Amino acid sequence: MRNIYLPPGFEWCRKAKYEVQVELACYQLNEKTKLLKGFEEKEFNDKKYAVKSGFNILEQNHWTTSPERPYIITGTMGERWPVKPSNMSAYDVNTKEIGIEPITISTKDPSNQEFMIAVHIPEGQTARILPSWAFSDDGKIDETQVMVANSIDSKVPHNGGDYVVAKHIPGQKEYWELPQEIRDTKEAAKLYSPRIINGSIMQTTYDHAQTIEEILEKYENNKLIIKK
């Protein structure tokens, strides 16, 4: 795979090999399924579901599970966030094995992960990101889902600064090159899938470097290591 020119300060990145915990935290309520301890009742499309809510200590935002994002992942720093079933494709697990009790899973072979682009935001600077899950179906923004790099309210150190990570779209500008008014649209959020990665976990959850070859070489040299 040839390297593609990236603007100064931009790096290639790819999920590394590491372990997390996952649990099912949304299920439909009916005559046979009751509301379990730790869950709350919420309605989606005229149907009642048991969901969980929480706060991500790294990204500094509140979350609630839903039929669209029914799983909770607990990361390497204890951060928790809800994910879609499709997001589980990055992990070595059969979703049928995931129940309400947390289980430990690991990321798949890094050589099968897609490449993304990372931009470092040094401590002292901030950046605001609207991830795809911050938008409702009608395009309204849920401000509790906004992600902030180097948030002064974070209870976890940033270790030199956080990262903006987004998909690389061949033939198009990188996410961080887009004007703010375009980055803040639902269309851009869904296309690029941007997120903030706290600097304290970037080294353990992503391999990142100036070139694709550097990442591939790093993986070959650490093939059997699972980062914790």
The number of C-alpha atoms within 13 Å of 149 and in the hemisphere containing its C-beta is: 27
Separation between Cα atoms, residue 151 and residue 155, nearest integer Å: 9
Residue 66 is assigned to a structural domain of this protein: yes
Question: What is the structure's pLDDT at 187?
Answer: 94
Structure confidence at residue 227 as a pLDDT band (50, 70, 90): very low
Whether residues 100 and 117 share a domain: the answer is no
Question: What is the structure's pLDDT at 225?
Answer: 44
Instruction: Compute the radius of gyration of the chain from its Cα atoms.
Output: 18
Domain end: 71, 106, 141, which one? 106
Residue 227 is assigned to a structural domain of this protein: no
Beta-sheet strand order (sheet of 80-83): 80-83, 71-74, 19-24, 103-106
Whether residues 137 and 87 share a domain: the answer is no
Separation between Cα atoms, residue 180 and residue 4, nearest integer Å: 24
Whether residues 210 and 181 share a domain: the answer is yes
Q: What angle do CA 167, 172, 178 make, to 5 degrees?
A: 80
pLDDT 10s digits, 78-112? 889 999 998 898 899 999 999 999 999 998 876 66
Domain that holds residue 84: 19-106
Domain end: 106, 126, 152, which one? 106
97-102 own/partner pairs: CB under 8 Å, 24+ apart: 98/22, 98/23, 98/24, 98/71, 99/23, 99/24, 100/23, 100/24, 100/25, 100/27, 100/36, 101/23, 102/21, 102/22, 102/23, 102/74
Q: How many domains does the chain have?
A: 2
Residue 63 is assigned to a structural domain of this protein: yes
Residue 1 is assigned to a structural domain of this protein: no
Question: What is the structure's pLDDT at 89?
Answer: 87
